[in-house]
Amino acid sequence: MYENQTENIILNRMLEKVPNDIDKREGSIIYDASMPAAIEFMLLYATVDYFIKNTFGDTAERYFLILLAKDRGLSPYPATYAIVKGECTPTNINISIGTRFSYDDVNYSIIENLGNGQYLLKCETIGTIGNKPSGNLIPIDYVQGLEVAKLLEVTIPGEEEEATEDFRKRYLNSFDNQAYGGNIYDYREKVNAIEGVGGVKVYPVWNGGGTVKVVFMTSEYKPPTTEFIQQVQTKLDPEQNKGKGIGIAPIGHVVTVNGASNSYIKINLNITFNNGNFEDYKTKIEKVIDDYFFELNSKWQDTQKVTMDVYENKGIIVRISQIESRILDIEGVDDIEHTKLNELEENLTLDVNALAVRGELSG
């Protein structure tokens, strides 16, 4: 707002107020007296500009945005630790809680025995670094009789602290959408606050009065595991106490929790290359498509639009034009046409609870 208020502009404005019969040239008394003041005024303008910028939620820096959001009862979602499922063989050995294992550059410790040789382990490093693919676990502590330890899957993904722009969006949305008493916004807010949740859709009165269905995906924009679904179910409305107000859900709300599902999309491409063939470029093409699907899945929650007078629920739309334009950006690709999704040369709309996943790819 005050970017143009430099010391020279301020100085000239000050000197214009001085009578012309007084020497105003550089080095004169009035010039030398005015210049330090002009610099201070410039700094004051800069301070005012910084203050105004951080007074409003759409321009405030992170520190001041957090202070503003406190008036709405909001704060950034904190970073969390990944919870993974491991399996140890032979299955009849009993490994103590707290036993530590390593995987690449991170360590995990057992927090729960699931039986049949399976365990839940918590990453010792906070954030997404603990979301490792399946692989071998190396015991740090000695375990007598242990033959093999494996990481099977990420049960609850670890998350980084909520990004500034994501938090800003949530803060600004809080003025438009009032979360109260078990309405859709209330469920969205509370379920998204659960560690590892990356998006949620809420279906009120889905199976009669008082029933609510909650469908969510993980913070990695993937379907949740059975264990994760059960944990969210227990936090919202324990199955053995449905509708009794034992969990987060209001009294009288019978909540059913499901996970989003994967929809595998068969893709047929017709590409002309400057040189080489499809197999030479397949890895790059797969990455381009996977990146596009990741972007689509990250906005899955937004396909359910809810306002004071509108309730609309759609599925993710996979657009051929987006796939083709992104593949055209690959160096060596000359042209692409007649792309098919699931054997049809048209955009594909997924089920409302489905996430886009690359299936069979041919070209």
Predicted confidence (pLDDT) per residue in 181-205, tens digit = 889 999 999 999 999 999 999 999 9
pLDDT of residue 231: 95
- The stretch 54-70 carries a mean pLDDT of 95
Q: Please, are residues 351 and 317 in contact by the beta-carbon 8 Å criterion?
A: no
- The stretch 304-314 carries a mean pLDDT of 79
CA–CA gap between residue 170 and residue 164 (Å, rounded): 10
Parallel/antiparallel/unpaired status of strands 211-218 and 254-259:
parallel
Sheet strands (E) in the chain: 83-89, 100-103, 106-115, 118-123, 135-136, 138-139, 148-156, 197-204, 211-218, 254-259, 261-268, 271-273, 304-306, 311-313, 317-318, 333-336, 340-341, 348-349, 354-362
- Dihedral angle sign, alpha carbons of residues 171, 173, 178, 180: negative
pLDDT of residue 29: 87
Q: How confident is the model at residue 6 (pLDDT cuts 50, 70, 90)?
A: confident
Residues 6+ apart with CB under 8 A from 361: 266, 267, 269, 282, 285, 286, 289
Q: Please, are residues 207 and 250 in contact by the beta-carbon 8 Å criterion?
A: no
- Each domain of the chain, given as residue ranges in start order, spans 7-53, 83-156, 177-259, 262-362
pLDDT of residue 310: 66
Predicted confidence (pLDDT) per residue in 224-252, tens digit = 999 999 999 999 999 888 878 899 999 99
pLDDT of residue 4: 80
Phi, psi of 188 (to 5 degrees): -55, -50
- For the purposes of burial, counting CB atoms within 10 Å of the CB of 259, is it exposed (0-12), middle (13-18) or buried (19 or more)? buried
Q: How confident is the model at residue 140 (pLDDT cuts 50, 70, 90)?
A: very high
Is 97 a residue whose pLDDT tops 90?
Answer: yes
pLDDT of residue 11: 82
Gap between the terminal Cα atoms of the chain: 54
CA–CA gap between residue 99 and residue 115 (Å, rounded): 16
Neighbours of 143 (CB within 10 A): 16
Predicted confidence (pLDDT) per residue in 36-57, tens digit = 999 999 999 999 999 999 999 9
pLDDT of residue 308: 64
- For the purposes of burial, counting CB atoms within 10 Å of the CB of 294, is it exposed (0-12), middle (13-18) or buried (19 or more)? middle
- The stretch 110-126 carries a mean pLDDT of 96
The DSSP annotation for 191-217 comes to HHTSTTEEEEEEEETBTBTTEEEEEEE
Is 101 a residue whose pLDDT tops 70?
Answer: yes
Q: Please, are residues 158 and 128 in contact by the beta-carbon 8 Å criterion?
A: yes
What is the SS3 assignment for 65?
A: helix
Domain 177-259 has CATH 3.30.300: yes
Instruction: Please tell me the total number of residues recorded for the chain in this structure.
Output: 363
- The stretch 69-90 carries a mean pLDDT of 95
pLDDT of residue 261: 97
Percent of the chain with pLDDT over 90: 79
Predicted confidence (pLDDT) per residue in 150-189, tens digit = 999 999 999 999 999 999 999 998 888 777 888 999 999 9
Is 309 a residue whose pLDDT tops 70?
Answer: no
Distances (CA, A) of 345 to 220, 269, 352, 354: 30, 10, 21, 20
Predicted confidence (pLDDT) per residue in 264-283, tens digit = 999 999 999 998 899 999 99
pLDDT of residue 311: 79
As a whole number, the mean pLDDT across the chain is: 93
